[in-house]
């Protein structure tokens, strides 16, 4: 089985490495030549636990990385994993996917085999039928369903567990027509992931499933965040005990009930906006989804007002931000709430020092010299008048009275309740708990 993966971001790189490590012949394609050459040398464009090892194994076996699209011509399956970023109106930007499938169409025009093209990129319902399929048929001069297979195959992996999720997905979704290509794809996945449910449906449903999934996760987070804001105003109430308890109800489940500064990252915020935009287009006023988004945006404001309540004006105040990655175990700062917070604090003329175990380089790309980059947690805290803990890195759990002793004012805002069980000689506020006396 020869497999191509087009687009080497989190999904594509994890997928090509895992498949190659399982002895499939894999060609990983990306238009960025520098990125390809780095990957060939084992240098990763991103930090993802377990990826470096898996890539190394894959490269030793049958993984080829290239920017040369013609390498896909002998492939039986072609996975498209390019990004669909956000436009200013919230809709998705399709230029990358159009470019990728145009190149694929041109190559399959000349090839003799009948490949199956699987679209993993997140696209709104109808994109496959109305955009992808016509481009592919036009560029290849061939017919979908007869000469090549076309399947919607949304991806549910999470950054920071990309390898684990690629090896052990919770579900496989295959959208498309009941053709021999669908049968072959189903066989491929049932061999690759025995005992994992495979849902076979049409294109539009498969496309919508992805948005349903991410918007439900976002809804759970905004729900617990709204509840946490209520709890903050009830002395002694602890949001974590509430989340843990309701999570034991099998109808609710305990995942994605960690209150915090709001959801960030390259997926949840973008997919929520795309779904809201899409709902409007099909004539539905998405009241709940809008509320989920608004609740998310309000979280930052409530953190800032907590700060201003204690510090007064933030202008010229030295504030330390611990954690800029959008979640732990990644160096990704795209749409990170911490980045948004820093932007707002800079507007208020605060002086910001940050520390993150992995995301310093990416944060530097956003802020350059506008903020200070500390070498350690204590370095970040020195002389600061407030520390805001934004990302739940394990490393931050060591913070104690000794680490805060050189703060100008011992004032902690803990957005993830990392230190909530510790006795600290400090003014301590936690999202979902409020002020701890």
Catalytic residue among 36, 231, 267, 415: 267
First vs last C-alpha separation in the chain: 63
Residue 59 or residue 209: which is nearer to ligand UGA going by CB? 209
Span of 34-42, 101-109, 255-263, 302-310 interacting with ligand UGA by CB under 6 A: 255-263
Residue 108 or residue 293: which is nearer to ligand UGA going by CB? 293
Residue 156 binds to ligand UGA (criterion: CB under 6 A): yes
Residue 264 binds to ligand UGA (criterion: CB under 6 A): yes
Residue 157 or residue 208: which is nearer to ligand UGA going by CB? 157
Residue 341 binds to ligand UGA (criterion: CB under 6 A): no
Among all chains, which residue has been given the structure tokens 């979908």?
Answer: 144
Q: How far is the CB of 333 from ligand UGA (least distance, A)?
A: 11
Residue 257 binds to ligand UGA (criterion: CB under 6 A): yes
Question: Which residues 294-333 are close enough to bind ligand UGA by CB under 6 A?
Answer: 326-327
Question: Rounded to an integer, what is the distance from CA 119 to the centroid of its chain?
Answer: 18
Antiparallel, parallel or unpaired: β 2-6 and 25-29? parallel
Which of 265, 357, 432, 434 touches ligand UGA (CB under 6 A)? 265
Q: Hey, CA dihedral for 407, 411, 413, 417, is it positive or negative?
A: positive
Q: Smallest Cα–Cα separation from 320: which of 269, 391, 380, 393?
A: 380
CA 366 – CA 199 distance, rounded (Å): 40
Q: What DSSP letter does each residue of 161-182 carry, written as one string?
A: SHHHHHHS-S-EEEES-SSHHH
Residue 8 binds to ligand UGA (criterion: CB under 6 A): no
75 is catalytic: no
Q: Smallest Cα–Cα separation from 363: which of 388, 387, 385, 342?
A: 342
Question: Residues near 329 by Cβ (< 8 Å), separated by ≥ 6?
Answer: 49, 160, 358
Number of chain positions touching ligand UGA (CB under 6 A): 21
Question: Which residues 406-435 are close enough to bind ligand UGA by CB under 6 A?
Answer: none
Residue 327 or residue 351: which is nearer to ligand UGA going by CB? 327
Which of 64, 166, 222, 258 touches ligand UGA (CB under 6 A)? 258
CA 165 – CA 219 distance, rounded (Å): 22
Binding site for ligand UGA (CB under 6 A): 122, 155-159, 214, 217, 221, 256-258, 260, 263-265, 267-268, 271, 326-327
Q: Would you please indicate which residues are annotated as catalytic (active-site) residues?
A: 267
């Amino acid at each position: 089985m020869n497999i191509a993966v087009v687009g080497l971001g989190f999904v594509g790189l994890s997928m090509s490495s895992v498949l190659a490590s399982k002895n499939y012949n894999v060609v990983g394609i990306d238009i960025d030549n520098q990125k390809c050459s780095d990957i060939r040398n084992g240098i990763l464009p991103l930090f993802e636990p377990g990826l470096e090892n898996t890539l190394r194994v894959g490269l030793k076996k049958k993984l080829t990385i290239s920017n040369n699209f013609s390498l896909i011509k002998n492939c039986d399956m072609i996975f498209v994993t390019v990004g669909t970023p956000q436009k200013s109106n919230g809709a998705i930007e399709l230029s990358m996917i159009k470019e990728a499938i145009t190149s694929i169409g041109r190559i399959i025009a000349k090839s003799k085999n009948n490949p199956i093209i699987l679209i993993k990129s997140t696209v709104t319902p109808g994109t496959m039928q109305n955009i992808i399929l016509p481009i592919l048929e036009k560029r290849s001069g061939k017919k979908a369903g007869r000469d090549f297979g076309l399947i919607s195959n949304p991806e549910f992996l999470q950054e920071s567990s990309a390898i684990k999720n690629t090896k052990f997905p919770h579900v496989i979704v295959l959208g498309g027509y009941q053709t021999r290509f669908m049968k072959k794809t189903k066989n491929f996945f049932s061999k690759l992931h025995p005992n994992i449910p495979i849902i076979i449906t049409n294109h539009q449903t498969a496309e919508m499933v992805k948005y349903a999934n991410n918007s439900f996760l976002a809804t759970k987070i905004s729900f617990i965040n709204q509840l946490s804001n209520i709890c903050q105003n009830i002395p002694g109430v602890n949001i974590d005990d509430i989340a843990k308890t309701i999570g034991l109800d099998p109808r609710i489940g305990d995942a994605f009930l960690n209150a915090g500064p709001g959801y960030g990252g390259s997926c949840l915020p973008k997919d929520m906006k795309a779904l809201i935009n899409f709902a409007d287009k099909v004539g539905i006023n998405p009241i709940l989804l809008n509320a989920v988004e608004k609740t998310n945006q309000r979280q930052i404001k409530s953190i800032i007002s907590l700060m201003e309540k204690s510090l007064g004006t933030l202008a010229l105040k030295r504030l330390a931000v611990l954690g800029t990655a959008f979640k732990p175990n990644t160096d990704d700062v795209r749409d990170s709430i911490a980045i948004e917070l820093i932007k707002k604090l800079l507007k208020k003329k605060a002086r910001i020092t940050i520390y993150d175990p992995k995301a310093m380089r990416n944060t530097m790309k956003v802020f350059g010299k506008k903020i200070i980059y500390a070498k350690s947690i204590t370095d970040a805290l020195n002389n600061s008048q407030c520390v805001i803990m934004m990302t739940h890195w394990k490393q931050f759990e060591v913070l104690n009275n000794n680490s805060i002793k050189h703060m100008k004012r011992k004032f902690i805002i803990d957005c993830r309740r990392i230190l909530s069980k510790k006795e600290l000689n400090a003014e301590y506020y936690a999202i979902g708990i409020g002020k701890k006396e």
